[in-house]
Chain A
Amino acid sequence: EVHLVESGGVVVQPGGSLRLSCAASGFSFDDYTMHWVRQAPGKGLEWVSLISWDGTSTYYADSVKGRFTISRDNGKNSLYLQMDSLRTDDTAFYYCARDSGECGGDCFPADWGQGTLVTVSS
């Protein structure tokens, strides 16, 4: 069974930095593209970023490009999101998700963790 557990969500001041982690188990982590998706409290879903199985390809939403960095450590079955220059509108639940693997490359988020809350506030 796919199991994804996010951690690292805290209260941080505007302009600050934070690194989220996602521990994966129950599947061959290094076979799958991984995603981050966020959701501001009471708002809709926003796709944030993805990273290919080997870490060589990464993509970002326009709203986080240049401030957030996605990475992975396949030896530790872990996904990361380094968040710099945080703004109040980055406040959200952050979900990591495993790609479906249906497309032979990057596809859509299929299996999701339960999320971790990041609050950016002074």
Chain B
Amino acid sequence: DIQMTQSPSTLSTSVGDRVTIACRASQSLSGWLAWYQQKPGKAPKLLIYTASTLQSGVPSRFSGSASGTEFTLTISSLQPDDFATYYCLQYHSYPYTFGRGTILEIK
């Protein structure tokens, strides 16, 4: 199975900060990676797929990139609505696997 190592597990940040969350895959994903945002008590929301394609309706301050087996989610200027937990998901191979999540908390 493909292992997804997500970091950091928690990030204390402030409104306006530039935030970067990373996921490293244990093998090549050929870009088949998605990012999700989840708020407490809610279902996850798709943000990005194929590593860098922004889902319709998602603000442009969110972006994704890839370099080999390293994937990055960037929020260019953190807004109050962005404090949440973020997960990466590899869908290159079965079984699909999520990263362990990154909690963005207010500093």
Please judge, given known A-B contacts A108-B49, A108-B89, whether A45 and B43 are in contact too, CB under 8 Å.
Answer: no
A28-53 to B contact mask, C-beta < 8 Å, 1/0 = 00000000010000001111001000
Check B95–A62 contact: CB distance below 8 A.
Answer: yes
Contact segment of B14-22, B59-67, B75-83, B96-104: B96-104
Distance, CA A45 to CA B36, complexed state (A): 10
Please, which residues of chain A bring their CB within 8 A of the CB of B44? Answer: 37, 45, 95, 109, 112
Please, which residues of chain B bring their CB within 8 A of the CB of A109? Answer: 44, 46, 89
B37-60 to A contact mask, C-beta < 8 Å, 1/0 = 010001111100110000100000
A92-120 contacts to B (CB < 8 Å): 95, 100, 102-103, 106-115
Query: Which of A37, A62, A95, A114 has the most chain B CB atoms closer than 10 A to its own CB?
Result: A37
Interface residue A61 (Cβ < 8 Å from any Cβ of B): yes
Shortest B2–chain A CB gap in Å is: 11
Query: In the complex, what residue of chain A is closest to B33 when comparing beta carbons?
Result: A108
Distance, CA A114 to CA B45, complexed state (A): 11
Check B43–A112 contact: CB distance below 8 A.
Answer: yes
Question: Which of B91, B94, B99 contacts A108 (CB under 8 A)?
Answer: B91
Please, which residues of chain B bring their CB within 8 A of the CB of A45? Answer: 36, 38, 44, 87, 89, 98, 101
Check A102–B98 contact: CB distance below 8 A.
Answer: no
Check A59–B94 contact: CB distance below 8 A.
Answer: yes
Check B49–A100 contact: CB distance below 8 A.
Answer: yes
- Identify the A interface with B (CB < 8 A): 37, 44-47, 50, 59-62, 95, 100, 102-103, 106-115
- Identify the B interface with A (CB < 8 A): 1, 32, 34, 36, 38, 42-46, 49-50, 55, 87, 89, 91, 94-101
21 pairs, CB–CB < 8 Å, chain A vs chain B: A44-B87, A44-B98, A44-B99, A45-B38, A45-B44, A45-B87, A50-B94, A61-B95, A62-B1, A62-B95, A95-B44, A102-B49, A102-B50, A107-B49, A108-B34, A109-B44, A109-B46, A110-B49, A112-B44, A113-B43, A114-B42
Contacts A47-B96, A95-B43, A108-B46 known; list 7 others, CB within 8 Å. Answer: A44-B99, A44-B101, A45-B44, A62-B95, A100-B46, A103-B91, A114-B42
